[in-house]
A and B are shown apart, each in its own frame.
Chain A
Amino acid sequence: MSTNTTSHPSSTGMGLRYSGAWLPAAIAAAGFLALPFGRPGRPFLTIDPDLYAWAIGHPLLWFVLVGALAALVISLLKLPTAPRGDLLIGAGTVGLGAGVLWFLLTATPFGMGALVAFAGLALVIGHALSESGRVQGDAFIATSILVVSLFVLLFIIYPLFMVMRSAVVVDGAFDLSQFRRTITHPLFFFLENPRSQIDEVGLTMRWGVVVGLVSAAWALFRRRSLPLVLARLVLGGIVGLVIGAMMYGRGALPTSLLTVAIVAPACTLLGLAFALLGQRSSFRPVRRSLDVISVLPIITPPFILAFAMIFLLGRRGIITHGLFDLSVNWIYGIPGVAIAQILAFTPIAYLLLRGSIASLNPALEEAAQTLGAGPWTTLKTITWPLVRPGLAAAFLLSMIESLADFGNPIILGGDRNFLATEVYLSLTGRYNPNEAASYGVVLLALVLLAFFVQRWWLGGGSFVTVTGKPSSGALAPIPRAVEVALTAVLLVWTVFVAALYASIVVGSFAQLWGVNYTFTIRHYQDFMRAGWPVFLYTARVAAISAVPAMLLGFLVAYLVSRHRFWGRRFVEFGSLLSFATPGTVMGVAYIFAFNTGPWLLTASATIIILALVFRNMPVAIRAAVAGLAQIDPSLEEASTMLRARSFTTLRRVLFPLLVNTLVTGLIFAFVSAMTAVSQVIFLVSPGNQLATVLLLGWVEQGQLGRAAAMGTILIVSMLLTILVVLALAQRISARVVRVES
């Protein structure tokens, strides 16, 4: 070995003299000895002498210590790097496995000692995986892969597994009867209503026959083969039956499906219209106003518009009652929920479609036309295939949002029940966890079905890359008449939404909405007393959750887009699941997963923070993937070649170049944590109340004034946060970039 005066202190030319795993191994051993391994109940920081590992004295626990100490000794031995890594993997796995096994066997809630010991051992394995050469990358990468996979397993896959298990396991035994009872219950679905005048079953049948015949006739008209015509007959019949069942049936399933069937197409079409206007409108203010519209859903809790609709269209609504002197109830039920959802989710569809419309290169259409294609052919062969992925993504997302939506149906559902609300009501109203799990499974199945249908239709593609690159060519204007019509739609929309938002502000200052409109700050006083502490607590929890959500999202994006490793598919799939799973389902899932045993976490701030972290991680992943795509990977390789470890590379190369993306990701994680409701409503507890949940409660109790005050404060503060932080981010990244020019 030649002498090399310049290499690191810990290396002898090639290889490491000792393993970096010594430190985590020592920490694991120290944590094991100095801190209690278990805890008696919910609080983390209690020190119960009986729950020290040496007091418990279970043989499995000694293996944890042996594993940690063995790892410590091995890492200091003078051995070749790779075989030493293999030994360390063994030692770490023995320690970790024994500890996990003990928890599984005894179901003791884990304590600080276990947390420290397990974290240390995981770090030991991470170092060892890298040093043994089994994972390509350094200790940081290997540990990150390990930790991220464990997180996905523990906080995404495991809770979902527990929901499914709870639906079909009763008292520890596999039993489908509960599940069957739930889905045959009238709350879930029933068709024939003996008290109604009409014959629901007959009407549904008629729908089946008519749609079946029409689709078969169409196939005949197109001169298809006989088997195909028959297939169309059957398929059309089924579709007709489903339509009929949705229209005449009652219960959560047909109600939710009918709402989706109204909301998803409406959002997609409106989103498309706005995207067309936003990209190609000849009128600048139109394009500007769309920028505002696209921010609204981010800063607004999803149900705030439903709440505002009570002000405008409710029994004492300013339009219905004030203008027309009506006292009507029609907004309670599917129409109201559908309108509220369309208002809330169209901006999301618009954001997705904006990318695809922007990537439509007018030159392509012109090229097609010069090749002799008429406008119709051009639309079919050029434009449609290019917009199709965007439309599909927008449709899917509106569908998922509508199915998963909890706040709007709870406020405006009236006598109709929805799948997402039933999950909640069966757990907290009827105290039937099994029923809640069953509803959760149905909801999850519907969402995943939609996902896989979309994948199949589009033929793969990643959910992270549905955005397009804007083209540079001049944009073809939309036909005059179309533009006028679309602008009119936008105008109506804008006026309506503005009126809704204004009504919240006005309502927060009015004595009693619909009765007495004199100015008062009474509601703000009420809010300060009953809501302010909760608001502050929420802000704190949201801020605490935003940082790990962003870091974890960035880490996942970095690992998945820059490294090849075993389990990469699993991590991708896990983050996809956490993105697609309805919040209500994830909410009950966390209840089932973390209510007993080693994972006792419910009724704590910890579980709310964990839920928010994994809920908002996908947003950060998308942002980081988009940011990373702009950076040439050879910059990172150059850094590695200059002997920087990957953490140094992240800190010195990627972070400075991605400041803007990261801050944006952070702020969106914070804001969406502030406005989330469907998942956390299951996890709040006395002392751990959240602003949106409280707001929803006030609306339900009819305390509309103080609810409006809280809504106003929430919206204004989120808007300010976004504006201030984004301006700040611009400044920071400008400073970073200034060196370049």
Chain B
Amino acid sequence: MDNATTVIKGITPATVDLRGLVKRFGKDVVAVDHVDLFIERGELLTLLGPSGCGKTTILRLIAGLERPTEGQILIDDDDVSRLPAYLRDITMVFQSYALFPHMNVFENVAYGVRVANRPKEEIQERVAEALAMVGLQDFAQRATNALSGGQQQRVALARALVIRPRVLLFDEPLSNLDAKLRKRVREDIRELQQRLGITSVYVTHDQEEALAISDRVVVMHEGVIEQIGSPHDLYTRPASRFVADFIGSANFIPGQFDGQVIDVLGYRRRHEQDITPGAVTVMVRPEALEFAREGESGFEATYLSSAYLGPVTEFIFDVSGVEVFATISGSGISNAERGDTVLLRFKDVGVSLLPPG
């Protein structure tokens, strides 16, 4: 996507408002369970969660490919819950790209303009514009199965953009690409999305991908929203064990909090967080642990094992019955033996409190 100056005229991004959205399949499957969500104009919001948590279903509900069992979907304050998909000014990029096999690249991209019965010149112009935007000007006459996975992905994107949607939906658009390409294409998508300022909802189960491209991330679990926040918020202040575990990895150590100071096995440390004082679970990222130096306070941990990984070493400790993982830079205690006792302390960031349990 080298042509950074092309911008599609006429895209007017919309807001999306989901209110009390429920989707049941049959009697037993509740795919989406009372979801409330407001998506700002022009933001890229990611739905993140394990397989089967209802991400795709939410996307299809917004698109109009499924009907909600309960609740409303508003686009720019219009209730579209009962509006058929083709009237919603929304479009979607599919996981499988869904390129039409009997049409070449040009025809695929032209499809949306063609079915709207626009004049020939306009079709030519808009397809050229969209192809330029994704850097595929020279591929117009190619058959779609003569393209690489990344190129197919970009054709799918151009095909979606050409109709100037007010909301753009992505269902795991990168899952068919290899790891290296995935990183590049996701940067391209993010760059294009910001340039066009188009409201986008992006589904993935890859947490790194979610953190890298989103304005905000919604973490879902079994049809329910666990937490909404910026990537930074989610990582540093997860609202539940599930979120902490799903985004990055985390240790959960029981402790006490009096409103200002955390106490873990006698190790006391100042902390600011709005949470009911008393017994708490201390969430510590593995990289937020370090060895207490001479004279510093800390809590006792029993060394179990370690693995040297070059820049860091991965340790496993036992802290009063809880297994704790730590990634600590430098070799640290290379000569420790299983069962040795060490003193650990928290770093400044990467510690957060959760309700006990």
Q: Which residue numbers of A lie inside 8 Å of B, CB to CB?
A: 1-8, 11, 13-16, 81-82, 130-133, 136-138, 632, 634-635, 637-645, 648, 652-653, 656-657, 736-737, 739-741
Contact = CB atoms under 8 A, between A and B. Distances in A.
Contact of A653 (B82, B100, B104): B100
Nearest to A2: B12
Nearest to A645: B86
Contact of B102 (A3, A5, A737): A737
B135 to A, nearest CB: 21
Given A1-B76, A4-B89, A15 B83 contact: yes
Contact of B98 (A136, A635, A736): A635
A633 to B, nearest CB: 9
Nearest to A81: B83
Given A634-B98, A642-B159, A7 B83 contact: no
Interface stretch (B109-117, B205-213, B325-333): B109-117
A740 B143 CA distance: 5
B105 to A, nearest CB: 11
B167 to A, nearest CB: 11
A739 B102 contact: yes
6 contacts: A638-B98, A642-B159, A643-B86, A644-B112, A740-B145, A741-B145
Contact of A133 (B14, B67, B92, B166): B67
B10 interface: yes
Contacts, number: 127
A14 B98 contact: no
Contact of B87 (A16, A137, A634, A653): A16
Chain A to chain B: the 10 pairs with minimum beta-carbon distance, closest first: A133-B82, A642-B112, A638-B98, A634-B98, A644-B115, A14-B78, A82-B82, A641-B92, A641-B91, A2-B12
Nearest to A733: B102
A648 B114 CA distance: 11
Given A644-B115, A739-B102, 19 more contacts: A6-B10, A13-B76, A14-B78, A14-B88, A16-B87, A81-B82, A81-B87, A82-B83, A130-B84, A133-B84, A136-B67, A136-B84, A632-B98, A638-B94, A641-B91, A642-B112, A643-B116, A644-B111, A740-B101
A133 B67 CA distance: 9
A15 B65 CA distance: 16
B92 A638 contact: yes
Contacts of A4: 10, 12, 89, 166
Contacts of B166: 2, 4
Contacts of A137: 84
A640 B89 contact: no
Contacts of B89: 4, 7, 13-14
Count chain A CB atoms within 10 A of each CB in B86, B89, B115 and give the residue with the most. Answer: B86
A456 B130 CA distance: 56
Interface of B: 10, 12, 14, 63, 65-67, 75-76, 78, 80-92, 94-96, 98-104, 111-112, 115-116, 143-146, 159-160, 163-164, 166
A739 B104 contact: yes
A585 to B, nearest CB: 36
Contacts of B146: 741
Contacts of A1: 76, 78
Contacts of A131: 84
B259 to A, nearest CB: 48
Contacts of B83: 14-15, 81-82, 133
A641 B85 contact: yes
Contacts of A7: 89
B84 A138 contact: yes
Contacts of B103: 739
Count chain B CB atoms within 10 A of each CB in A1, A130, A739 and give the residue with the most. Answer: A739
Contacts of B75: 14
Contacts of A6: 10, 116, 163-164
Contacts of A652: 111, 115
A657 B87 contact: no
Nearest to B82: A133
Given A657-B102, A739-B103, A637 B163 contact: no
A563 to B, nearest CB: 11
Contact of A637 (B65, B82, B100, B112): B65
B87 A644 contact: no
A11 B101 contact: no
Nearest to A640: B85
B131 to A, nearest CB: 16
A15 B86 contact: no
A657 B100 CA distance: 9
Contacts of A637: 65, 92, 94, 98
B339 to A, nearest CB: 47
Contacts of B163: 6, 642-643
Contacts of B10: 4-6
B102 A740 contact: yes
A632 B100 CA distance: 10
B86 to A, nearest CB: 5
A632 B115 contact: no
Contacts of B116: 6, 8, 643
Contact of A657 (B14, B101, B111): B101
A138 B98 CA distance: 21
B9 to A, nearest CB: 9
B12 to A, nearest CB: 5
A164 to B, nearest CB: 34
Given A640-B65, A736-B102, A13 B78 contact: yes
A11 B86 CA distance: 11
Contacts of B112: 642-644
Given A632-B98, A740-B143, A15 B160 contact: no
A656 B90 CA distance: 26
Nearest to B111: A642
Nearest to A735: B102
Given A4-B12, A640-B65, A642-B115, A635 B100 contact: yes
Contacts of A740: 101-102, 143-145
Nearest to B25: A564
A739 B115 contact: no
B12 A3 contact: yes
Contact of B160 (A5, A16, A641): A641
A89 to B, nearest CB: 13
B102 A138 contact: no
Contacts of B95: 634
Contacts of B12: 2-4
A741 B143 contact: yes
Contacts of A741: 143, 145-146
A632 B86 contact: no
